[in-house]
Structure 1
Amino acid sequence: MPADTHLAQLLLLDKFDVEAALQPDDVLEAVREAFVLHSHREGRVFPLIREKLATGGVFGIKAGDVPKQNLLGFKAAGFWPDNRAQGGEPHQATVLLIDPATGRPLCVLDGNAITTARTGAAGGIGLQLLARPNSARVCVFGSGVQARVQLTYALRLLPSLCHVSYVTFNHQRDPAFEAAFSDRCQIELATDANAAVSKSDVVITATPGGGALFDADAVQPGTHLNCVGADTRGKRELPDGVLARARVFADDREQARGIGECQWAAQVDCTEIGDLLTGNAMFDRGSADITVFDMTGLALQDLTVARFLHERAVANGTGKRLAWPW
């Protein structure tokens, strides 16, 4: 065995390391690359694992590789609602990058921060591609971590947005949520979900996916919807009838039909968002078109973001290094 195998190291990037390095422009570039790789089928997405646990949690693994880039890895993640009672985050995720030549682990990264940022960036890209460019009003369902990042990227990438209404699970104001955006837009709590949807150019659903959030006839012609919360069999945020009226897009067609909103209307035509970026598909939006981006999350998004974080940490000497001989 070569001597240098005894000097092998494993790099650990914790929450603070990852959050400090997640610059929006870098995340956007990595997520766009993931969509393009998927469209060209240069990056592979392996079969998804997503299972409910006896503890009440949901556990999943999203894995993939990009052979030409020697990129291989997975994210182990899920949702544990009881964490809230302990003051913890219900979403938990860990990313592992692996050397495809040897199978050796290269880097363990906090996956929560990566998931949050790459999902927000994906939503922003969806808005750029699908929403009406002059969209001014957005309705956000939820005020938690994912709702915040979705709105952050929406305001960044669709600067015409100026009025935000938001809907909370308890119908109460969230002063912290409002304060986070009050310097960038007009923001107010919506007391009537249907009325808020009917007045909005863009609707963002970022909830745990426990059921339909509004009535189908609240969605007006020209509306674009970014749907984040349906990521497991049985979850949904849209009511029956919306997908049948819409042009539907997804990060991955088959995954959306398995665990996303499209599981409730598998017969509906669905275009992958990466195909719009590569020109493999075309979409000339009409002013009255309703569009839906069914976002279930690609393993390739996690890997392209993790790759630039790993490379930067190696160059900068950040993170913690553990001896990992073999």
Structure 2
Amino acid sequence: MTPSTEPVPAPSHAQLLLLDKHQVDALLSPGDVQQAVREAFVLHSEREGRVFPVVREPLRTGGVFGIKSGDVQAQGLLGFKAAGFWPANRQRGGEPHQATILLIDPSTGRPLCVIDGNTVTTVRTGAAGGLGLQQLARPGSARLCLFGTGVQARIQLDFALRLIPSLNEVLYVSASGQRQADFEARFAARCSIAPATDRNAAVARSDIVITATPGGGALFDLDAVQPGTHLNCVGADTRGKRELPDGLLARARLVVDDRVQASQIGEMQWAPDTACVELGDLLSGKATFERDASDITVFDMTGLALQDLTVARLLHARAAETGTGTRIAWPW
């Protein structure tokens, strides 16, 4: 997408566009998000898109607050996402993950668009997971073990079923360890789905394992992971978080979204010297990946600012085309 050639409004006539949750939901489709996320990975690989150092800090309120930012100078794309995790929101009847995205005009520094980032974060992370599965999972993978039943677990499973047609059996592990009827109902028409009675046994019989939990500790034993398994790891996105057992990365072929970021806040923080490849390099053709049937592969997903920005740019353009959103005067 090339930078806009439209005249820039005079400072006194500048406007700020606001897109709320419902407007974002109406403007996004999974296929478009996947395309935007793929572009973000390729831009990162080709170093046309920059990812700035991540802020990710615990709060006294019990939440975790972070900022992910970056730009694509050739496209006039600049912005950030302020986001985090507030577990007490569940008691308030709200979503614990909260995110807000701000697009900025790089030529003036003025804000262009404020976007509710919750859906963006959910769907772009699901799309990234789907791309990881397409690149790394063993062909013909049929059985999947899913840790988590929350918003991110649901979107990860949705993209997995969407992009890996051979998947037909899902075992899941909920936070309570109990059956989640509502969760099962979402996917019952697309696969055989049931709770795992033994998490290690479920991992051992699965071709794909997806971990989408708050990252409080190892979810299964090292010996449960069999040759040929692929793992998408979503929950480790902060210092101190993990979902994988000690020693697994040493046995695996590791792919990350960003090498530095993963070594600081992802699963890779527990083994920072592990050799790895960035997913964007596989998508751009800079690197190749020949998968042996017995390889254990891991995609360590920490989330790129560029994913948020390419999806936000899509939303900004769609809102302009459709007249969606609230425009308020923002003179300077």
Give the aligned residue type for 1:236.
Answer: R
Establish whether residue 135 from structure 1 lines up as the match of residue 167 from structure 2: no
Establish whether residue 287 from structure 1 lines up as the match of residue 296 from structure 2: no
- Seen in structure 2, the aligned counterparts of structure 1 residues 132 and 86 have a Cα distance that, compared at 3 Å, is same
Deviation at 1:3, TM superposition (A): 8.2
Q: Deviations over 1:166-189 (max 9, x none)?
A: 001111111111000000000000
Partner in structure 2 of residue 219 of structure 1: 225
* Mapped partners of 1:41, 1:4: distance in 2: 33
| Matched residue SS, 2:184 | helix
| Matched residue SS, 1:315 | helix
* Mapped partners of 1:13, 1:159: distance in 2: 34
| Matched residue SS, 2:70 | strand
Partner in structure 1 of residue 125 of structure 2: 119
Establish whether residue 4 from structure 1 lines up as the match of residue 10 from structure 2: yes
Partner in structure 2 of residue 261 of structure 1: 267
Q: Deviations over 1:297-321 (max 9, x none)?
A: 0000000000000001011100111
Partner in structure 1 of residue 5 of structure 2: none
* Mapped partners of 1:3, 1:37: distance in 2: 29
Query: 1:228-267 residue pairs with structure 2 within 5 A?
Result: 228-267=234-273
Task: Please report the RMSD computed on the Cα atoms of aligned residues, expressed in angstroms.
Answer: 0.9
Give the aligned residue type for 2:145.
Answer: C
Unpaired runs of 5+ in structure 1?
Answer: none
User: Which of 25, 28, 31 is matched with 1:25 structurally?
Assistant: 31
Q: Deviations over 1:170-224 (max 9, x none)?
A: 1111111100000000000001100000000000000000000000100000000
Establish whether residue 103 from structure 1 lines up as the match of residue 109 from structure 2: yes
Establish whether residue 70 from structure 1 lines up as the match of residue 81 from structure 2: no
Deviation at 1:157, TM superposition (A): 0.6
Deviation at 1:20, TM superposition (A): 1.1
Partner in structure 1 of residue 205 of structure 2: 199
Give the aligned residue type for 2:201.
Answer: A
Which aligned runs of 4 or more in structure 1 are off by greater than 3 angstroms?
Answer: none
Q: Deviations over 1:258-308 (max 9, x none)?
A: 000000011110110000011111110000000000000000000000000
Deviation at 1:54, TM superposition (A): 1.0
Partner in structure 2 of residue 16 of structure 1: 22
Establish whether residue 175 from structure 1 lines up as the match of residue 181 from structure 2: yes
Give the aligned residue type for 2:40.
Answer: A
Deviation at 1:7, TM superposition (A): 1.3
Deviation at 1:4, TM superposition (A): 2.6
Query: 1:308-323 residue pairs with structure 2 within 5 A?
Result: 308-323=314-329
| Matched residue SS, 1:287 | coil
Establish whether residue 46 from structure 1 lines up as the match of residue 52 from structure 2: yes
* Mapped partners of 1:213, 1:19: distance in 2: 32
* Mapped partners of 2:306, 2:195: distance in 1: 35
In the alignment of these two chains, the number of paired residues is: 325
- Seen in structure 2, the aligned counterparts of structure 1 residues 233 and 206 have a Cα distance that, compared at 3 Å, is same
* Mapped partners of 2:144, 2:27: distance in 1: 29
* Mapped partners of 1:22, 1:142: distance in 2: 24
User: Which of 271, 275, 284 is matched with 2:277 structurally?
Assistant: 271
Unpaired runs of 5+ in structure 2?
Answer: 1-7
